[in-house]
Amino acid sequence: MQKVYTKIESIAGNVISVKAEGVRNSDLAIVTSSHGESLANVIKLEGETVSLQVFAGARGISTGDHVRFLGYPMRISYSEDLLGRIFNGSGIPRDNGPELTENLIEIGGPAVNPAKRIIPRNMIRTGIPMIDVFNTLVESQKLPIFSVSGEPYNEVLARIAMQAEVDLIILGGMGLKYDDYLYFKETLEKSGAMSRTIFFVHTASDPTVECLLVPDISLAVAEKFALDGKKVLVLLTDMTNFADAMKEIAITMEQVPSNRGYPGDLYSSLAARYEKAVDFEGAGSLTILAVTTMPGDDVTHPVPDNTGYITEGQYYLKNSRIEPFGSLSRLKQQVNKDTRDDHRALMDGMIKLYASYKESQEKKSMGFQMSEWDDKLLQYGDLFETKLMDLSVNIPLEEALDLGWEILAECFEPKETGIRSELVLKHWPKSAS
């Protein structure tokens, strides 16, 4: 169907409507205006009236501009040629490489049948003790970094990506600052990881609608590679911008907002994306690590709140550290039983002691007397924060566990740690006792 419609009935926000026949929901169209061409997709049908969201934005579109329906939904080319390339949210190259048109796949495909899923089983090593020891990342996990703006969340994301032993990295940038975009690009190039990376980037200055497409396009490609046996890591930053773009469209479409202006289907929309994380039996896997900035450092804000209800834990980034409280990997118990015999006990024991340290610290700040025990805890907390929590620490899990024992031995008697005696006997540093 190649009929061209030349009468745009209404323009509101980035949504236009035309009267047309035989158009299918979700299909693509090309809108041609004096500013050039833009893709658009159908988001609503009402009698003859077809509403479309214009990817490049409706600014400057005139009622007499042309709309041509393509008769198919949003697609992206899938092949090894994608590797090392950079695209925008509509799948158009942002680098100087050629446009890819072969082997097109649809985006936003159906969900995986729960009966076909398997229990996650492989740890992803990052070299960051706060992750590896305390909140282990697992292949096929979906996990956001909850961050206050201004925290080095993109650095953390890049670091995990560089260190993770995966076959392929797909970076979906939404509302990315141009500097951050360059930072990712340079970091990946420098480390030689660029050749196994695909970028889908929407920067802060690009049209809003393209921001909406980034997760779907990134995940569609990732899913395909995973089906082809690859271990894929998808990085999405920043999902709060994605949610805000959804909010914008919802308001344009005059949907009733549910909470602080966000549409009622915020949960379902976020879940549809995050649930793409999967481990395919007999093939590859798809792991999602996302950034969710928390407006006003408020974890109850609808975006982090809905995200927390969907994902399998979260890393809480605060004061340039991954906080032990608030951070959670819900899949850690699937893998930390097989790493080392002291992993679980040390993880629990050290966090409980750190919680006691926080209490002592509070007591101290209120001017209450410090006991001998309080002093030990204060020393411990300090060592924990500098030697393990600091983000610059980069050591393998086993070394981090050993370091944990050393810190304990420096501050406590074995029986004060609350850790099972047999483990203490085996792992307590010989020099200390």
Partner 1 sequence: MARNSGRVTGVNGNMVTVQFDGDVSQNEVGYILLGEQRLKSEVIRISGKIASLQVFEMTAGISVGEKVEFTGLMLSVELGPGLLTQIYDGLQNPLPELAQQCGFFLQRGVYLQPIPDKSWDFTPVAKVGDTLFPAQTIGTVPEGIFTHRIMVPFDFANVAWTVDSIRPAGTYGVREEIAVLKDPKGNKKSVSMVFTWPIKRPITNYVERLRPTEPLVTQVRIIDTFLPVAKGGTYCIPGPFGAGKTVLQHMTSRNADIDIVIIAACGERAGEVVETLKEFPELIDPRTGKTLMERTIIICNTSSMPVAAREASVYTAVTIAEYYRQMGLHILLLADSTSRWAQAMREMSGRLEEIPGEEAFPAYLESVIASFYERAGIVKLSDGSKGSVTIGGTVSPAGGNFEEPVTQATLKVVGAFHGLSRERSDARKYPAVHPLESWSKYASVIDAGKVAYARNILFGGNEVSQMMKVVGEEGTSLDDYVVYLKSELIDSVYLQQNSFDPVDFAAPIERQELVFDVLFKVLGSVLQLEDKKAARAFINEIRQKFIDWNNTARDDERFEMYLREIEELVAQRFVGYERRAAKILQVK
Which of the listed partners (partner 1, ligand ATP, none) does 373 bind, with a CB threshold of 5 to 8 Å by partner kind?
Answer: none
Phi, psi of 236, deg, nearest 5? -120, 120
Minimum distance from residue 119 beta carbon to partner 1 (Å): 6
Residues 89, 218: Cα–Cα separation, whole Å: 9
Tokens of 351: 């966090």
Does 112 participate in binding partner 1 (rule CB under 8 A)? yes
Cβ–Cβ under 8 Å, residues 408 and 417: yes
DSSP assignment string, 213-230: HHHHHHHHHHHHHHHTT-
Q: What does the alpha-carbon distance between residue 355 and residue 304 come to, in Å, rounded to a whole number?
A: 24
Which parts of 103-162 interact with ligand ATP (CB under 6 A)?
none
Question: Which amino acid appears at position 150 of this protein?
Answer: G
Binders of partner 1 among residues 22 to 51 (CB under 8 A) are 22-27, 44-48
By the rule CB under 8 A, 296 interacts with partner 1:
no
Residue found by looking up tokens 């026949």 in the block: 21
Is residue 330 at the binding interface for ligand ATP, with CB under 6 A as the rule?
Answer: yes
Cα separations in angstroms, 16 against 67, 88, 420: 10, 22, 66
Number of residues that bind partner 1 (CB under 8 A): 66
116's contact among ligand ATP, partner 1, none, with CB below 5 to 8 A by partner kind, is partner 1
300-319: contacts with ligand ATP (CB under 6 A): 309
Q: Which does 353 bind (CB under 5 to 8 A by kind): partner 1, ligand ATP, none?
A: none
Least Å from the CB of residue 175 to partner 1: 24
Q: How many residues bind ligand ATP (CB under 6 A)?
A: 2
Residue 77 binds: one of partner 1, ligand ATP, none (C-beta under 5 to 8 A by kind)? none
CA distances from 108 to 26, 67, 173, 222, 274 (A): 10, 23, 17, 12, 12
Shortest Å distance, C-beta 268 to partner 1? 5
CB of 194 to ligand ATP, least distance (A): 35
**Whole-number Å distance between alpha carbons of 122 and 30:** 44
Dump the DSSP string for 268-335: HHHHHHHTT-EE-TTS-EEEEEEEEE-GGG-TTSHHHHHHHHHSSEEEEEETTEE-TTT-EETTHHHH
Half-sphere exposure of residue 13: CA atoms within 13 angstroms, side-chain side? 17
Q: Which residue is at the shortest CB distance from ligand ATP?
A: 330
Tell me, residue by residue from 328 to 357, as one string, x for binding to partner 1 by CB under 8 A and - for no binding. Answer: x-xx-x--------------x--xx--x--
Footprint on this chain of ligand ATP (rule: CB under 6 A): 309, 330
Residues near partner 1 (CB under 8 A) are 21-27, 44-48, 73, 108-120, 227, 255-259, 263-265, 267-268, 271-272, 275-276, 280, 300-302, 305-306, 308-310, 312-313, 325-326, 328, 330-331, 333, 348, 351-352, 355, 363, 366, 368-369
